[in-house]
Structure 1
């Protein structure tokens, strides 16, 4: 391949991402995206020796100078997945069984401590090594004999407040947290987006145990505002709308983990028996990834019906070239390459038979940048692979493009029919 051909291919890849993201801020974002490499993300398993009497809290705190908490995660069961993210440096990790259920460590609660953990750039997007002992954290039944570090200060209280603000907090579609500038920050400065507590699962009205939650998940470069027309038509006597807002620039796997953690927390808090998830574009990949996390842990998802709209199950051909050249692109776009590790692994876990699946797609586009028939952004080949169609309970197409399908009255009417058909006679809460 000549340099001229390679440059043209890279431009096509970047243009395709701009189409998916609804704008072309990518070409000015090289410096911002390179900052992603300066952060460390890892995940592992945390568990208690005996059955937990409350959720497990995992706290990451700085060791250079006075202990300063920088990241907080909660696992509401005896064993589960934790995730942490921070700039490179020396850290400590404190994990404790939150018997008092207030997210604060109390004397006498079982706990374990790691100190001197060095996080470097080589660990970005990789699980911790076995040598570090961080892949699996085990909390003994007995309280620790040594005095634990004083990390529970004002900074820790701020982490707790931030967490409570984004997991189940009230929100409105038109409020500033979902504004275009926040969307751009999530796409091009995603780790800062997470650290500042802008990602979360939000309730558009107070929780009602008598109504089934419908969780809306946007695509790359999107926000809950994309769902305004759909939510406006939702039957509020039977359903309650929740919206998941995530930084679409991080890897799809991390977004899936954020969704899993948020849904897990609200299920633990409210005890709803089931829910419905509706996802657009890349959001469908995020949802499937989140379900895989639940299934691999041997848990039963609190979901009985999934609807995906215009999801690129086979990725986007232009994404193959996104990591070539000096321009740094979002990790989610790298995962969109048809042969990426994420997409290859996505369908390994079988979907449970008791989770119903509706597949919607658009065929009203004619982009010359996308091969074959397409919706203007994603090819029909990617949206309609045989393996996905064969597993769907309902498949329907609309003469709409990738964006207009969410504003289509025909699509919304069909979606509402599907929600009603799959809702009866399911209970809303246990």
Structure 2
């Protein structure tokens, strides 16, 4: 049974394992990379606390770069899966070519704007005279690597969409392991500090982009990357953007949240509060990465089966993914509650920063066990091509609800208001997403 036949006929539980486990492993390795990367930066002798705070300043920028990668890769890969489900290989190849060209064009624009206005952007995003040099050293190198980042991101998702999740995971895992190896070499051996961490990241992005590009150019894929398909087709670009817009806007919302959060943290807690939030976010991502892997794995299954008009299989994939994600996040929540100092200590040893992070983590991660519903639910609508619902639900948690909360509550509760905004938004989003999913399933049953 080939990959496309298995998507149509194999049991959903087996498919979810087949497509999600490689993605989860890749995400876990990515999480390990992020953990090690930030741990190394936080341990730089004499400046670790300020360096981790400087890294926190760059998080909105990194999120924006990732957002453009998500726009192209999710839009492209979802449409590739749908076209393959419809047995339309020719148009799947056209989507692939346009996906690559969009990645090149958009990444060059982001790189140029970022380099030209780097200091203005960093101060706007919460940098101070104490943290700007660390933030500039890191993000300046990351901007230079943007084209390789977006090419790797976009084509890797296309590899998964065509039915080769193991290779998609392998490229990510190898890149992340290499990054972990290179980090201490560039940071400590070459004495490049936080800039060394960025150089290690970009070198890995270059290697992965060349790897995934060669996969298509050497025709190892079932899809051919044709020169004629690199010419942008407005209709194809439109459907790529239409499907990718919701997760893109979610990433932009996340970036905005980081900016607003950094500003509030700076006002009510100073530079160390930004560092503490960076630690909390890093710990949160340790356990969220498997959920993102699940959503990636289920996306291909849902999109293909929906394209093949097998709606019950799409629904089952969603439900299994949500149940698995709740189990993962509940386990993570318990571990964090029992061993908060252990997790925070991974990223920094400064006592003042640890005390801030301990208080923050108890409040900020309160709704962690159930948040997967608010994250995975919108991906279902995205996968079946319902753009309006997907866009609204994607923006709901991190923008429509959270932004007003984070602008209001800190004025009443001070620093605690920053910490508590996220769990309130999570709970409200879970309720609303659940209502939308129930209504969708009822409409399909008619």
TM category (shorter chain) comes to under 0.3
Judging by fraction of residues, say which structure has more helix: 2
Question: Which gives a bigger RCO, structure 1 or 2 (Cα 8 Å, sep 6+)?
Answer: 2
